[in-house]
Chain A
């Protein structure tokens, strides 16, 4: 299984850009990188997904270098409501059994400060 490593926590002031980097040294050729956000007392929700280079949507941007061994989630001009845990996931498939699981690490707890 491809493992991911993220910082345990980050603090940011309102209005700043926040970049959260995830390491996934063992990413496989066909794996995708996906980020989820989880607010307290809620289930995680999908933010963004990418394979290489840069992906942008209305919520965030995802930067993936050519070697794909890391990725960076960028949140522009964060607000207090962006305080949450952010999880980096790497798509993984057992080629033998064809099984698949969404493997969540410990995530990064982002605290936005007024």
Chain B
């Protein structure tokens, strides 16, 4: 596609339920990032993929959070047993390369707004 696509755009879920958030990166982009942004706050790094591997999972806030990427393309962020503090916008970004010394332009999706009630 032309840009990074995320789905759903909005998700309301009950506390304790599991949710899956999907990210379709730009075709050919090897690097993929997930961020969380709470209302009025900055971007909180969650996880980074290079291809299908996740060399950096340091940002995942708890073991309720997991992510995978397949085919060096689609990524899914899963939150188990959701809590109200998980409410936020979850943003995905992709870039053509991440290894090396230069920051490459990253393209962000519109995000998934998750509300846990």
Whether B42 lies near A105 (C-beta < 8 A) is yes
Whether A100 lies near B48 (C-beta < 8 A) is yes
B39-51 near A? 1/0 per residue, CB < 8 Å: 0011101001010
Whether B42 lies near A91 (C-beta < 8 A) is no
Per a CB cutoff under 8 Å, which of B35, B42, B103 touches A49?
A: B103
**Which residues of chain A are near B48, meaning CB under 8 Å?**
99-101
**Which residues of chain A are near B102, meaning CB under 8 Å?**
30, 32, 49, 91
Nearest to A43 among chain B residues (CB) is B108
What CA separation (Å) do A106 and B106 show in the bound complex?
Answer: 18
The answer to whether the Cβ of B18 comes within 8 Å of any Cβ in the partner chain is no
The answer to whether the Cβ of A52 comes within 8 Å of any Cβ in the partner chain is no
Within 8 A of B (CB), among A84-103: 85, 87, 89-91, 93-94, 97-103
Known A-B contacts A97-B55, A101-B56, A104-B45; the reply to A43 vs B93 at CB < 8 A is yes
Whether B103 lies near A91 (C-beta < 8 A) is yes
How many inter-chain residue pairs (CB < 8 Å) link A and B? 78
A interface SS class: loop
Whether A93 lies near B33 (C-beta < 8 A) is no
What CA separation (Å) do A32 and B48 show in the bound complex?
Answer: 19
Whether A32 lies near B42 (C-beta < 8 A) is no
Whether A46 lies near B106 (C-beta < 8 A) is yes
Nearest to A47 among chain B residues (CB) is B105
Whether B111 lies near A106 (C-beta < 8 A) is no
Query: What is the interface of chain A, defined by CB distance below 8 A to chain B?
Result: 30-32, 34, 41-46, 49, 85, 87, 89-91, 93-94, 97-107
**Additional 14 contacts, C-beta under 8 A, given A41-B110, A43-B4:** A30-B101, A32-B102, A44-B108, A49-B102, A89-B103, A97-B55, A99-B48, A100-B31, A100-B48, A102-B93, A104-B35, A104-B45, A105-B42, A106-B42
